[in-house]
Chain A
Amino acid sequence: MFDNLPVLIVVTLLMTAFLAPLFIKKFRPLVYGVANAAVAAAACASAVLLRYALHTGPLYVAVGGWEAPWGIEVAITPLSSFVVLVVTSIVALVMVSMPREQVDWPSQKVGWYLTLVLLLTAALAGMTMANDLFNIYVFFEVTALSSFGIVAAKKERNAADAGQGGYFEGNVDIE
């Protein structure tokens, strides 16, 4: 059962990301609290994984029972769990000050903005823990897409242009 913890980090963040726009209209402070709790729980889970990797050694989980190369693999080493811990802690600290800045935003926009932030965190955590090149590519694309969405969400005129520039240059580099 402990083998499922790396996958559960990514899946919990993903589920919370898509629950946010459904409940945002009536329970706005509650949605902020649940998103914060999800990222904090991901940070605690990665701390548990870091302790396990430091004491017992690296852990390689085959997701869904399919061995590599037919299935995807997750590697928990001291380095990867440490990076996941740092990333989720920073996002949890940043999300504390979000409600005060977004006081005058309409509820629909706040809902999809929270989706993008939680998707970014899930993709960064998944990219660090993945052990095969294909999953690194998929999570990298999710990171790129959600970060472009976050940048373009502000109302200033330069925001859309920055997003456009990043899209074209980033795509020429990747392809």
Chain B
Amino acid sequence: MPDLIIREITALLLPFIQMYGIYVIMHGHLSPGGGFAGGMIVGVSLVLYILVFGLDSCLRKVPHRLSSIVESFGTLWYAAVGFVGLLRGTSFLMNKGAGISLGTPGKLFSSGLIVVITLGVGIKVASTVLSLLYTLIEED
């Protein structure tokens, strides 16, 4: 009976947890949080899924290879965004001096390349948390 209650409530709650995590990632330049905190929220929601529904059902949805690939991809995204400033003639990781429009402060799509970098960091952190759990739990 407690098994049934936990399973039903987790199934109801998980989409809202992940939506909140994505909200924290996307509003990194407007409110506290940012890439790392939002990525941890999304990653921990996947850990909750593993704890409640078992390791095999999460392995069917997000295989181990996919999370390793996304983990490497996140770092390459960050470095690639840094190269945008270099390609425009100014220094590495340049935001305003590279001619990117800053928008109006307070709106979602303001402050240039910060949103792009925050998104990459969030994806990387979520997949790293999942990869670490897979490495710890899987028995060879």
Contact = CB atoms under 8 A, between A and B. Distances in A.
- Bin chain A's interface residue count: 10 to 19
A37 interface: no
A118 B62 CA distance: 28
A22 B82 contact: no
Sort chain B's interface into a size bin. 10 to 19
Contact of B91 (A14, A18, A63): A63
A63 B92 contact: yes
Interface string B75-104: 110010010011000111111110000000
A21 B68 contact: yes
Interface string B112-138: 000000000000000000000000000
Interface in A1-53: 3-4, 7-8, 11, 14-15, 18-19, 21-22
B59 interface: no
A76 to B, nearest CB: 14
A63 B93 CA distance: 8
A65 B97 contact: yes
Main secondary structure of the interface of B (DSSP, over half): helix
A21 B92 contact: no
Nearest to B85: A64
Nearest to B75: A18
B29 to A, nearest CB: 16
B10 to A, nearest CB: 31
Contacts of A21: 68, 72
B91 A65 contact: yes
B94 to A, nearest CB: 5
A26 to B, nearest CB: 13
Contacts of A4: 86, 91-92
B82 A11 contact: yes
Interface of B: 68-69, 72-73, 75-76, 79, 82, 85-86, 90-97
